[in-house]
A and B are shown apart, each in its own frame.
Chain A
Amino acid sequence: MIQMTDLFSKLSITSNGFFVFVLLTLGIYYLVPKKAQNYVLLIASYLFCFTWDWTFATILFASSIVNYWVALKLDKAEDSAKTRWVWIGVAANLGVLLFYKYFDQTSVYFFKALLRIGLTNELLILDLLQPIGISFYTLQAISYLVDVYRKQIPANHSFVEVSLYLGYFPKLLAGPIERAQNFFKQLQADVEIGNDQLVESFIKIFVGLVRKLVISETIVRMIPLGVFAAPQKYSMPDLLFWWLTFAFVIYNDFAGYTSIARGVSGLFGIQLSPNFEQPFFSTSYIDFWNRWHISLSNWLRDYIYLPVSRAMLRRNPSGRYWPNLVIPPLVTMIVSGIWHGAAPHFILWGALNGLLQGYERVQKMFAKKTSIPLPRWRQISNIVVTLLILILINAPFKMDFTQTLAFWSGLFRWGIIQTLSIHQIIKPILAIGLSFFIDVMQLPAKDELGLLRLSKPAKVFLLTVGLLLLFLSTRQAAVAPFIYQEF
């Protein structure tokens, strides 16, 4: 017998409790008049946050007050004072993020150094709980303040709308990272949900659940324990196979989360931004980052890459000056790495991806230009090579510094194959096949609704198979938390 407190404890968007919570919220949302609907969403968002920890809701509330107030100050301030206010706002947001997300992570390195030189004899660890979604709503808050500072949008005078922008529950755990202008517009519009929108929302939720519960979870359960924790114990075929499969875990886990979040939000008439455009069909590294975690990539482009790049180009406008090509993507991706976590392996991950983008830009500068599409075989080989290189250099995304080095050196070690029996690899291979099948279906319109464009028999068949797979997967062990929720 499920207790009510268990049902509504730490609501994850794949839990039964979450779907009951959404149904209850929807019922109230459509019963109340338009002007009360945003209050319903705000109360639901704080209840959602409370199911995780009341302190998280308190921090979110404090953040909403500060950002609401600073934006109003920015709007009214004289030009000379605006810069001071925007820095105060950005510093306040970053301060909270740095404290909760990075203090314990970085203090370990700091105090270990002090221990080594004998300046202290104990580590100071505060055991801070990282508030859910803080990395995501901090970026949204910063973009809101910067946009008001740049006079791209006026400050919003509705505290409810600003609070919802930061804490709206379908996107609270792991985005998408929305822009204030687009989000506020939707909160102010009259919500009209027709049958088409309902069907689209359910398809997004369905596809998201298949990606998370069927594909990602199936692969995760088959990955041998320790293959990434102690890669030095495995040889090349084991390491290569499981690391390639793990790339599909990360992708389907996050794309699944985003699809569910977009579907649920669509039921309330609010369209959240897409985060993925079939990234494993990218033909270059830059192309990949335009298709992977798009809302973060766009944020980084607007608030890190373009300001850095434009500042450098104003000093030396030459497009052939290599630092102009390499340094902006390098800085951007290092910031992305630090956003994911403070550990050195995330900085390495960011730097490698930034260098790869910089290399591609330099290479392109000297390549022959043509807009004639490449022959099909060249396109496919570009996709395969891009995917393989990206997967291999992304090892530090999952593994720490030592493990990454052991993994890379393991790729040159041929030994006994330990974990690749037919029984072990068949399910992951089928799951990867399903991931590709969904991507191919989504390719024409680049969204989650490819299923809707099929013929009726094909639709019915795929929905039945999908529901059956979902039913079977929910009978298995507990679902692992979403990977990006941890960031």
Chain B
Amino acid sequence: MEENEIRSKLRKFICTEIMNDAEYPLKYDEPLITSGLIDSFSLAQVGVFVEIEFQIYIPDPELTVDNMNTIDAMAARIKEKMG
């Protein structure tokens, strides 16, 4: 799967399921947690979404603000796990 496709799926999920605002023009490099768009607790949702959608398990200690603050950072981690 291409990184762009991963980004696009992540953006759709975050906007509709976490932000509850499907129309929000979320950029791939826009800070999510440090800007207050989503809270750090929501990373559990991202973790489970990635498990279901991409069949990838991101361990709990990796679900941190430092690692997952933008869609770009999330997609890079997923791509890395996919090998």
Contact = CB atoms under 8 A, between A and B. Distances in A.
Given A306-B47, A313-B48, A361-B39, A371 B31 contact: yes
B82 interface: no
Contacts of A284: 39
Nearest to A329: B41
Contacts of A357: 41
Contacts, number: 73
Interface stretch (A214-222, A225-233, A314-322): A314-322
B36 A309 contact: no
Nearest to A372: B35
B49 interface: yes
Nearest to B33: A290
B17 A318 contact: yes
A364 B24 contact: no
B56 interface: no
Interface in A89-147: 147
Interface of B: 17-21, 24, 30-31, 35-37, 39-45, 47-49, 51-52, 59-61, 63
A405 B48 CA distance: 41
Interface of A: 147, 150, 152, 179, 283-284, 286, 290, 301-303, 305-307, 309-310, 313-314, 317-320, 324-325, 328-329, 357, 360-361, 364-366, 368-371
A368 B21 contact: yes
Contacts of A301: 40, 60
A319 B41 contact: no
A284 B61 CA distance: 23
A18 to B, nearest CB: 33
B42 to A, nearest CB: 7
Max count, chain A CB within 10 A of own CB: residue among B48, B49, B52: B48
Nearest to A317: B48
Contact of A328 (B30, B31, B40, B41): B41
A26 to B, nearest CB: 32
B18 A319 contact: yes
A302 B61 contact: yes
Max count, chain A CB within 10 A of own CB: residue among B37, B41, B61: B41
The 8 closest A-B pairs by CB, nearest first: A309-B44, A371-B35, A306-B60, A313-B48, A319-B17, A369-B19, A302-B60, A369-B21
A184 to B, nearest CB: 15
27 contacts: A152-B59, A152-B61, A179-B61, A283-B36, A301-B40, A301-B60, A302-B60, A303-B60, A306-B47, A306-B60, A306-B63, A307-B60, A309-B45, A310-B44, A313-B44, A317-B48, A319-B17, A319-B20, A319-B42, A324-B45, A357-B41, A360-B39, A364-B39, A369-B21, A369-B24, A370-B37, A371-B36
Contacts of A317: 17, 45, 48-49, 52
Nearest to B36: A371
B71 to A, nearest CB: 13
A245 B57 CA distance: 46
